[in-house]
């Protein structure tokens, strides 16, 4: 009869319900390894063996350990390591005392599971059991610790072992420490163990050799993976280093772009007496080529000749490549001609070497030198042609770029994507649309339209040529939407006056995960400026901060420009003052911003500060300075001074824009004769803007005779100039010559010249509301008229008198007053008043210059309603507050 405890143990082993799976916890983990349930059918313990155990006498319970160990062995042998551990825990729960065989089996399972934590617990149990001194248990502990990556623990166990037989040594060396030391790059650790072995058999030697190979392989692996620091650590821990390990490090440094370090290591290698081979020479020659170390390359070439490696095809290729990249084409040709066999690699190296040179000369503006190299090439493939074409495009020789493209095709060369990109850029710069369309057809035939670089260049070309719809078609056909193509489209929309579409595309590219770059924000800010979308501009500014582009000079300049064009000169100044460096672009943007906001004196003060900081003004700067002079009466002398100093002091040749500013300055000051004389002495042909500036002055001063003469010249030189017709018609109307005014109006219509209608718009609750004179389309027009009627009473009480001179139609006086009341500016202001809370500032935008009567009326309205009303017209901002305007009634 078995004891009660024996019956429990045997029942647990034999019963299905008490099999190891009964003790499994579904969410448990052991030693960091998630345990699996043990299916009953996989249990190696059969019924017959259980019956044999049950038949044992009561005094032989401890003999059951043999059955347990047998079962542990079967689990281990079949790779069921988790089950091995679970069975071991079952043994302990059933009070079965493990022996040394048990520990060996369980430690093997820990080693295979890499279960270091559990292995430490078992080690503690081994110490308590007194089995630690057993050679087999000790060897298993060493093996477990080594395979779990704890080399120090393995070394500690090994050192306290009382005896080290050959089995222990081989297990320790072959299966454990040497392998682990090598994998961790510590070959000296493995060497230390190897040297302490009293008797070294073939297994020990093979393990040590394997360790050295593994370390060299580790150096190579780390270097190839770009982890050069790890490679270096393994390399310098090796007690001896052969040429393979030196090569791995040198090539690794080259691949990680640490070329100077590769050359230093090559010198160290020679000092230590290691003889370089062909792989070494290839690596250091690549380093020389990368840092353009021609003298060092020549010294290495001499060593190559002495070593007899010059005839090696790989070394020869590297020599050709090194000399070509270092600019010594003659030396490259010498090596090339001595090579016994030339593969495609060396031909490419020779050709590409020449193309480096061609590209370098072209970028430096030395086109003649580029041609000299180009003409010396025995074979000129598409790469060479593309380099020449690219060089001319980058140098600004756009016509020559297109000529080379035609010549290349005449010689039978088929262009590739690297050819098409600079050619399209040349077309964009020349706005050569027809030529570009022919090239586009070639691109489609060659299948390059879907290429991201070619596609982006096509988008950019069409946008710069003003054909935004064609650009959009190409953009929509592109397989992927990259930031380059998006930037081209955004800038194209802005250039074509489609700011809303530019902002829509910006939102689209963000929703598709395309990260914006600096030029993206430049385009988006320009769109905000064109729309006067201040709130949207502020949102974009916040994104710029998050992307850390605020310090970029181009982005900052665009921020200054956006805030200034939106009438927020304070925020523009804030960005301007925070910039770490300020170039002429941002200074000019700030000066123009103050001019647009009616702060001419501040603009002139900034110009003086700019000069004090040593920043040289440019053409745009002087446009701002001259406009600042125009913005105030009595600054004619200052304007003349600035105009003359531009060329005399700063070597900035006067452009058409400068002459237009001067004509406007003189004309508005009443100096019509001087203005006309200045136009007649211009070194270039006067533009419509110059003549229109004088025509506007004739209208202001009622000089009909000069107006007729000037208008005749304007319409003769530019029959499609609508402003010429309008200004002459207004001159006649102001003088009461209604028939003449009507005749000019009729001639404009007969000639099909369209006049841009006056339009004013206001943004309320993120929605833009647009108005024209006598507008009846707005859904709230009745309420708008009622608001204007309500305002008319206090306005009249304060002294407002409608200025009917600004009604340029032959109608009765009462009709003129009615028409003045329904000007688009007044309609937009009234809508803003009824649509926003009291005290809210209003921002009104008009596409033409604000009329005199609306200007006067807005002053009165600002005083009555107690609001700031900001009006931006075609020329500037007007800040109305408490009955006054920032322009001081001079605009």
- One fold for both 217-376 and 655-755? yes
pLDDT of residue 223: 66
What is the rounded CA–CA span in Å between residue 596 and residue 420? 42
Sign of CA dihedral 543, 546, 550, 554: negative
310 is written with which tokens?
A: 């010059």
Q: 818 pLDDT band (50/70/90 cuts)?
A: low
Radius of gyration of the chain (CA): 44
pLDDT of residue 63: 46
Distant-in-sequence, close-in-space partners of 803: CB < 8 Å, separation ≥ 6: 820, 852, 853, 856
> What does the DSSP 8-state code read for residue 156?
H
Helix (H) or strand (E) segment spanning residue 785: helix 781-797
> What does the DSSP 8-state code read for residue 684?
S
Q: Please say if the pLDDT value at position 194 is more than 60.
A: no
Say if residues 74 and 53 touch (Cβ distance below 8 Å): no
97 is written with which tokens?
A: 């005392």
227 is written with which tokens?
A: 């982890």
Q: Give the C-alpha distances (Å, rounded to integers) separating 106 from 111, 119, 127, 688.
A: 9, 9, 15, 97
- The string of DSSP codes covering 519-552 is HHHHHHHHHHHHHT-HHHHHHHHHHHHHTT-TT-
> Which residue ranges make up each domain of the chain?
4-163, 217-376, 655-755, 760-885
Q: 622 pLDDT band (50/70/90 cuts)?
A: very high
Average pLDDT over residues 869-880: 87
Distant-in-sequence, close-in-space partners of 518: CB < 8 Å, separation ≥ 6: 549, 552, 554, 555
Neighbouring-strand partners of residue 878: 871
Which CATH number fits the domain 217-376, given the four candidates 3.40.50.300, 1.10.443.10, 1.25.40.10, 2.60.320.10?
1.25.40.10
Average pLDDT over residues 245-272: 87
Say if residues 878 and 855 touch (Cβ distance below 8 Å): yes
What is the rounded CA–CA span in Å between residue 180 and residue 218? 12
Instruction: Please give the torsion angle defined by the CA atoms of residues 629, 633, 638 and 643, in that order, rounded to the nearest 10 degrees.
Output: 50
Average pLDDT over residues 352-381: 70
Q: Which of 124-128, 531-535, 670-674, 803-807 has the lowest mean pLDDT?
A: 803-807
- The string of DSSP codes covering 584-640 is HHHHHHHHHHHHHTT-HHHHHHHHHHHHHTTPPP-HHHHHHHHHHHHTSTT-HHHHH
What is the rounded CA–CA span in Å between residue 571 and residue 229? 48
Say if residues 556 and 579 touch (Cβ distance below 8 Å): yes
> If we measure between CA atoms, which residue out of 360, 361, 349 comes closest to residue 322?
349
pLDDT of residue 120: 92
The CATH classification number of 655-755 equals: 1.25.40.10
Q: Please say if the pLDDT value at position 481 is more than 90.
A: no
What is the rounded CA–CA span in Å between residue 880 and residue 871? 8
What is the rounded CA–CA span in Å between residue 751 and residue 707? 20
pLDDT of residue 243: 85
Say if residues 619 and 592 touch (Cβ distance below 8 Å): no
Say if residues 747 and 714 touch (Cβ distance below 8 Å): no
Average pLDDT over residues 692-721: 84
Average pLDDT over residues 535-553: 90
Q: Please say if the pLDDT value at position 741 is more than 90.
A: no
Q: Which of 238-242, 282-286, 487-491, 848-852 has the lowest mean pLDDT?
A: 238-242
* pLDDT per position as a tens digit, 29-46: 323 333 333 333 333 333
Q: 450 pLDDT band (50/70/90 cuts)?
A: confident
Q: Which of 3-12, 251-260, 676-685 has the lowest mean pLDDT?
A: 3-12
Q: What is the CB neighbour count within 10 angstroms for residue 889?
A: 12
Sheet holding 842-846, edge to edge: 767-771, 760-764, 842-846, 869-872, 877-881, 884-885
* pLDDT per position as a tens digit, 174-188: 445 555 554 454 555
Average pLDDT over residues 323-331: 78
- The string of DSSP codes covering 464-518 is HTT-HHHHHHHHHH-SS--HHHHHHHHHHHHHTT-HHHHHHHHHHHHHTTPPP-H
Neighbouring-strand partners of residue 769: 762
What is the rounded CA–CA span in Å between residue 428 and residue 460? 7
709 is written with which tokens?
A: 């003469």
> If we measure between CA atoms, which residue out of 818, 826, 815 comes closest to residue 781?
826
CA atoms within 13 A on the CB side of 612: 6
């Amino acid at each position: 009869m078995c004891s009660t405890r024996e019956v429990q143990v045997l029942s647990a082993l034999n019963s299905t319900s008490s099999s190891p799976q009964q003790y499994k916890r579904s969410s448990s983990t052991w030693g960091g390894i998630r345990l699996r349930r043990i299916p009953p059918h996989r249990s190696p313990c059969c019924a017959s063996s259980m019956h044999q155990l049950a038949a044992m006498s009561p005094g032989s319970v401890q003999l059951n350990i043999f059955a347990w160990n047998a079962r542990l062995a079967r689990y281990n042998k079949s790779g069921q390591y988790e089950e091995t551990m679970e069975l071991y825990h079952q043994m302990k729960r059933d009070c079965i005392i493990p022996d040394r065989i048990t520990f060996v089996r369980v430690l093997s399972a820990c080693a295979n599971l890499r279960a270091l934590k559990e292995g430490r617990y078992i080690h503690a149990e081994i110490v308590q059991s007194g089995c630690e001194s057993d050679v087999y248990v000790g060897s298993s502990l060493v093996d477990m610790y080594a395979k779990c990556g704890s080399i120090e623990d393995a070394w500690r166990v090994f050192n306290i072992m009382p005896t080290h037989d050959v089995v222990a040594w081989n297990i320790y060396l072959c299966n454990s420490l040497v392998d682990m030391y090598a994998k961790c790059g510590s070959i000296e650790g493995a060497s230390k163990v190897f040297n302490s072995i009293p008797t070294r058999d073939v297994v020990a030697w093979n393990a040590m050799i394997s360790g050295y190979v593994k370390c060299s392989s580790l150096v190579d692996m780390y270097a190839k993976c770009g982890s050069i620091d790890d490679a270096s650590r393994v390399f310098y821990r090796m007690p001896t280093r052969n040429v393979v390990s030196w090569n791995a490090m040198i090539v690794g440094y080259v691949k990680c772009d640490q070329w100077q370090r590769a050359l230093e290591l090559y010198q160290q290698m020679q000092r230590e007496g290691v003889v370089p081979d062909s792989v070494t020479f290839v690596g250091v020659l690549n380093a020389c080529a990368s840092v353009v170390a021609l003298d060092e390359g020549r010294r290495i070439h001499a060593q190559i000749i002495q070593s007899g490696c010059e005839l090696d095809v790989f070394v020869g290729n590297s020599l050709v490549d090194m000399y070509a990249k270092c600019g010594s084409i003659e030396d490259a040709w010498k090596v090339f001609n001595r090579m016994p066999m030339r593969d495609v690699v060396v031909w490419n190296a020779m050709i590409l070497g020449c193309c480096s040179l061609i590209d370098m000369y072209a970028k430096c503006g030395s086109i003649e030198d580029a041609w000299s190299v180009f003409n010396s090439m025995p074979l000129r493939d598409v790469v060479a042609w593309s380099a020449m074409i690219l060089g001319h495009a980058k140098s600004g020789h756009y016509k020559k770029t297109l000529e080379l493209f035609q010549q290349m095709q005449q010689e039978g060369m088929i262009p590739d994507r690297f050819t098409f990109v600079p050619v399209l850029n040349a077309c964009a710069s020349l706005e050569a649309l027809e030529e570009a369309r022919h090239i586009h057809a070639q691109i489609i035939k060659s299948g390059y339209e879907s290429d991201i670089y070619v596609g982006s260049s096509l988008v950019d070309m069409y946008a710069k040529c003003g054909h935004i719809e064609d650009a959009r078609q190409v953009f929509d056909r592109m397989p992927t939407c990259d930031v380059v193509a998006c930037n081209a489209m955004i800038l194209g929309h802005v250039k074509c006056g489609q700011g809303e579409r530019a902002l829509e595309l910006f939102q689209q590219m963000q929703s598709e995960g395309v990260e914006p770059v600096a030029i993206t924000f430049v385009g988006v800010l320009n769109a905000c400026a064109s729309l006067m979308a201040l709130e949207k501009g502020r949102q974009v500014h916040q994104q710029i901060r998050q992307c850390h582009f605020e310090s970029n000079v181009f982005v900052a300049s665009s921020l200054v420009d956006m805030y200034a064009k939106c009438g927020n000169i304070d925020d523009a100044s804030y960005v301007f003052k925070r910039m770490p460096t300020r170039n002429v672009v941002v200074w000019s943007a700030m000066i123009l911003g103050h001019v647009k906001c009616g702060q001419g004196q501040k603009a002139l003060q900034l110009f003086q500060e700019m000069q004090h900081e040593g920043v040289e003004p440019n053409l745009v700067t002087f446009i701002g300075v001259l406009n600042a002079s125009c913005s105030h009466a009595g600054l004619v002398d200052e304007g003349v001074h600035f105009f003359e100093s531009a060329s005399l002091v700063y070597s900035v040749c006067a452009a058409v824009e400068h002459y237009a500013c001067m004509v406007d300055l003189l004309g508005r000051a009443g100096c019509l004769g001087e203005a006309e004389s200045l136009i007649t002495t211009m070194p270039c042909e006067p533009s419509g803007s110059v003549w229109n500036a004088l025509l506007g002055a004739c209208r202001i001063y009622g000089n009909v005779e000069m107006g007729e003469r000037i208008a005749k010249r304007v319409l003769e030189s530019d029959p499609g100039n609508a402003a010429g017709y309008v200004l002459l018609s207004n001159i006649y109307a102001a003088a009461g010559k209604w028939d003449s005014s009507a005749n000019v109006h009729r001639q404009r219509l007969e000639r099909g010249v369209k006049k841009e209608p006056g339009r004013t718009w206001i943004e309320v609750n993120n929605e833009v509301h647009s108005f024209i004179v006598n507008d009846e389309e707005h859904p709230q027009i009745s309420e708008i008229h009622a608001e204007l009627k309500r305002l008319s009473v206090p306005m009249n009480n304060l002294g407002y008198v409608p200025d009917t001179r600004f009604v340029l139609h032959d109608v009765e006086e009462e009709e003129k007053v009615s028409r003045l009341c329904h000007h688009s500016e007044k309609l937009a202001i009234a809508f803003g008043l009824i649509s926003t809370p009291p005290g809210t500032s209003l921002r009104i935008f008009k596409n033409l210059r604000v009329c005199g009567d609306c200007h006067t009326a807005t002053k009165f309205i600002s005083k009555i309603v107690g609001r700031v009303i900001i009006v931006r017209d075609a020329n500037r901002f007007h800040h109305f507050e408490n009955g006054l305007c920032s322009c001081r009634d001079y605009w």
